[in-house]
Amino acid sequence: MGSGYELVVTIEESLIKISGEIDFTGTPALRKELHKFIEVSAGEVRVDLSELEYLDSSGLASLIELRRILTQEGRSVIIISVTEQVDRLLHLTQVKSLFGME
Amino acid sequence: MSTQAGRLKKLIQANEVLASIDSLVDLLPQLLRLAQEVTGAEASSIMLYNEEKNVLEFALAMNDVLSDVKMDILKTRIELPLGKGIAGWVAEHKESLNVTDAQNDERFSGEADKKTGFETRCILCVPVIHKGQLQGVVQVLNSSAKECFNEEDQELLESFGHLAGVALVRSELLIQRLDQQKFETQLEAASRIQQQFSPKQPALKGGNHIWGNSVPAQFVGGDLYDFIPNSDGSWYVYVADVAGKGLPAALIMSALWTRIRAAAAKELPTNKMMEEINSAAYEFMGGEVFATMMLARYEPHTGVCSYSIAGHPAPLLVSGGEVTEMRRPFGLPIGILDDGEFGMTEITLEKGQSLIVVTDGVDEARNSDGDFFGTERLAEALRGFDNPPVGKQLLHAVSKWRGKNPPNDDTTVVEIYKF
C-alpha cells in the first residue's frame, strides 16, 4: 500500500497505462493527469491495467469520472487488460459493462 | 571575565523568558525588549521572513525615544524585499551587519526615519536562523550608552538571534498543534453526530432480529446502514458504502442518508426505490464519486426478503453451518448514471437462517502482515460460529484479524436473522 502509481500515456494511440497501486492518497493526482489526457487526446481511449496491482474505490471513481467526461464528448473508454485484484473490484461493483468488458 | 559572565547571564535570562512563552503575540514584544536590553539600544525591530512571498514583513518595532503615535506608523505591516535596506541585506546574506554610520551607508533606507522623525545613527542587524532556515531578522538602533555598537554587542545579539529562532519555530509548532487540536475536536463532534445516523435495533415480534454495526476507519466514514419501517409491517434494511473514506465520504454519506429516507416514504419495491435513490444521488455525486448499496425489504411475518444490488457484495446466507453467496441482480453503483436501472430478487428466510450483508471493509481488513481477511476467511468465520445471530461475532473476528493494525476502510455488518 501507498507505494503509488505510474501513469504512461501514448497520446497518438489514446492509450493509458496505469501501473502500481492506486488508493485514495494517489487519486487526486491521478484525476488531474486524466483530465489533462482527455484534453490532448482524441477518439476512443484504451486503458491498460495489466500492471495495476491495487485499485481502491476512490481510484475506481476516477476511472468512472474519466468515462463520464469522455461520454459527454461523444467518446468512449475501454479497459483492455486487468490484473486479478482489479478484475475482482470491477466484478464486485458490476461496472465492467461501462468499460467494454464482458 | 566579568563581561563574559554578564553576557552569559543575560542570555540565560533571555532563554528562560523565551522558553516560558507560548504564543507568537506575546513572544515578539519580549524578544524585542530583551534584544534592546542585552545591547543597550534606543530602539529595535523584528521582521519575520515570509517564505511564500520571499519578503521580510515588519512584525514589531519598539522605540524608547519616539511617542506611541509615531510608533503606530511602524506597526503597519511593511513588506521588505530581500536585498533591500539593511535588514534585507542581512536576510539575503544570512550574515550580521554592524553599520556605524547609517546615514552614509548606501544600503540604508531612510524611509522609516522620514516617517517617524527618528534619527538612526547606527544599526546592528542579525539574522534569526533555525536549522539553517531564515526565520527573520532582529535589529537594534542607536546604542544609548556608547557611540555605536561594538563586536561584543554583535556576538551577544547573534547568540540572542539563535535563541529567538528556536523560540519562533517553537511558537509556530505550538500554533500548528493548536490548529490540529481544534480540528480533532471538530472531528470528534462530527463522529458523534454521525453515530446518530445509526438506527436503533428494532424490537420485532415473531422471532425476528435485525442488527447492524459500523466502524469507521477514521473519525467519520462513508459506510451507512439503516432500518426503516413500512406501513405493511415490512422493513427496509440497507447497507451502503461511499467510495473513499474520511470527511469527504462522510459528507456524501449524510446527504445520501436523507435521500434514502425520502425515497423510503414512497414504500416502493426495492428496484424502483433504488432508481429513485440513484437519480437523487446523481445530482450531488455527479459521476465523480459513487456508492455501492444493498437494499432489502424484509417481511418479518413471512421471512420474505426481496432485494436489489447496486454494485455491492452479495448477501450471504448462513444456515446450518453452511454459508451461501446469494444471487446478485444487476445494478451499477449509485451516482454513476442518471438513469440507472436495477434488478430485484428475493429469498425466504427460514427459522435458524441468517442473512449477512457486509461492506468491503470486512474482506479488505488487513492483518499486520498485510494479508486481507478475504472472502474465504469471511465464509470460514461465519461457518465457525455456533448459532446465529453471528453479525457481532463476525465484526469481532475482523477486528481480531486486524489486531493493532489501524482499519484501512470503514467496516459494516448488518444481519437479518429468523429464530
Region A15-37 average pLDDT: 91
Which residues of A are less than 8 Å from B288 in CB distance?
61, 65, 68
Question: Quick one: closest CA in B to A57, which residue?
Answer: B243
Pairing of strands A15-22, A45-49: parallel
| Close Cβ partners of A7 (under 8 Å, ≥ 6 residues apart) | A16, A17, A18, A30, A33
**Residue B52 grid coordinates:** 511564500
Kindly write down the DSSP assignment for every residue of B123-141, as one continuous string: EEEEEEEETTEEEEEEEEE
- State pLDDT tens for residues B194-248: 888 899 999 998 899 999 999 988 888 889 999 999 999 999 999 999 998 788 8
**Residue B355 grid coordinates:** 442473512
Which residues of B are less than 8 Å from A101 in CB distance?
none
Is the distance from CB of A12 to CB of A34 less than 8 angstroms?
Answer: no
Q: Hey, of B223, B239, B274, B288, which one would you mutate to test binding to chain A, going by the most A CBs within 10 A of its CB?
A: B288
Interchain proximity A93–B328, CB inside 8 Å: no
| Close Cβ partners of A46 (under 8 Å, ≥ 6 residues apart) | A13, A14, A15, A16, A77, A78, A79, A80
Dist. CA B295–CA B309, nearest whole Å: 6
- Distance from chain centroid for Cα B324: 41
Q: A5-99 maps to which CATH number?
A: 3.30.750.24
Interchain proximity A94–B309, CB inside 8 Å: yes
More confident residue, B113 or A29: A29
The total number of residues written for chain A in this structure: 102
Question: Quick one: closest CA in B to A90, which residue?
Answer: B311
Instruction: Output the 3-class SS for A25-73.
Output: CCHHHHHHHHHHHHHHCCCCEEEEECCEEEECHHHHHHHHHHHHHHHHC
Q: Hey, of B278, B360, B367, B368, which one would you mutate to test binding to chain A, going by the most A CBs within 10 A of its CB?
A: B360
Q: Three-state DSSP class for B51? A: coil
The total number of residues written for chain B in this structure: 419
pLDDT at residue B1 in the model:
45
CA dihedral B194, B226, A63, A82 (to 10 degrees): 120
Closest by Cβ to A94, choosing from B243, B244, B311: B311
Q: What's the gap in Å between the CA of A49 and the closest CA on chain B?
A: 20
- Taking CB atoms and an 8 Å cut-off, how many pairs form between chains A and B? 53
Region A70-92 average pLDDT: 94
Domain B198-418 bears CATH identifier 3.60.40.10: yes
Beta-carbon count within 10 A of B57 CB: 14
Interchain proximity A65–B288, CB inside 8 Å: yes
Domain ranges of chain B: 2-173, 198-418
Number of C-alpha atoms within 13 angstroms, CB side, residue B12? 6
Interchain proximity A92–B289, CB inside 8 Å: no
Q: What's the gap in Å between the CA of B400 and the closest CA on chain A?
A: 21
Pairing of strands B291-299, B235-242: antiparallel
Using omega within 30 degrees of 0 as the cis cutoff, is the peptide bond preceding B389 cis?
Answer: yes
Which residues of A are less than 8 Å from B313 in CB distance?
92
Would the pLDDT of A1 be above 50?
no
Question: What confidence category does residue A100 fall into, taking pLDDT thresholds of 50, 70 and 90?
Answer: very high
| Close Cβ partners of B228 (under 8 Å, ≥ 6 residues apart) | B199, B235, B236, B260, B261, B264
Interchain proximity B241–A57, CB inside 8 Å: yes
Task: Give residue A60's identity as a one-letter amino acid code.
Answer: L
Dist. CA B328–CA B313, nearest whole Å: 8
Q: What's the gap in Å between the CA of A12 and the closest CA on chain B?
A: 27
Question: What confidence category does residue A20 fall into, taking pLDDT thresholds of 50, 70 and 90?
Answer: very high
More confident residue, B68 or A77: A77
Interchain proximity A98–B328, CB inside 8 Å: no
Q: B2-173 maps to which CATH number?
A: 3.30.450.40
Domain ranges of chain A: 5-99
Question: Quick one: closest CA in B to A69, which residue?
Answer: B287
Which residues of A are less than 8 Å from B336 in CB distance?
64, 68, 95, 98
Q: Confirm whether B2-173 and B198-418 share one CATH topology.
A: no
- The dihedral region occupied by B108, where left means phi > 0, alpha psi between -120 and 50, and beta the remainder, is beta
**Mean pLDDT (10-residue bins), chain B, 419 residues:** 68 76 72 83 88 85 72 63 90 94 88 82 92 90 89 88 82 78 86 88 91 89 94 97 86 93 96 97 86 97 97 94 94 92 97 94 88 89 86 92 86 95
| Close Cβ partners of B248 (under 8 Å, ≥ 6 residues apart) | B222, B289
With an 8 Å Cβ cutoff, the interface of chain B facing chain A consists of 241, 243-246, 287-290, 292, 309-311, 313, 328, 330-333, 336, 360, 370, 408-409
Task: Give residue B197's identity as a one-letter amino acid code.
Answer: F
CA distances from A73 to A61, A70, B90, B136 (A): 19, 5, 57, 53
User: Taking Cα atoms as reference points, which of B381, B400, B353 lies closest to residue B215?
Assistant: B400
pLDDT at residue B74 in the model:
57
Question: Quick one: closest CA in B to A68, which residue?
Answer: B287
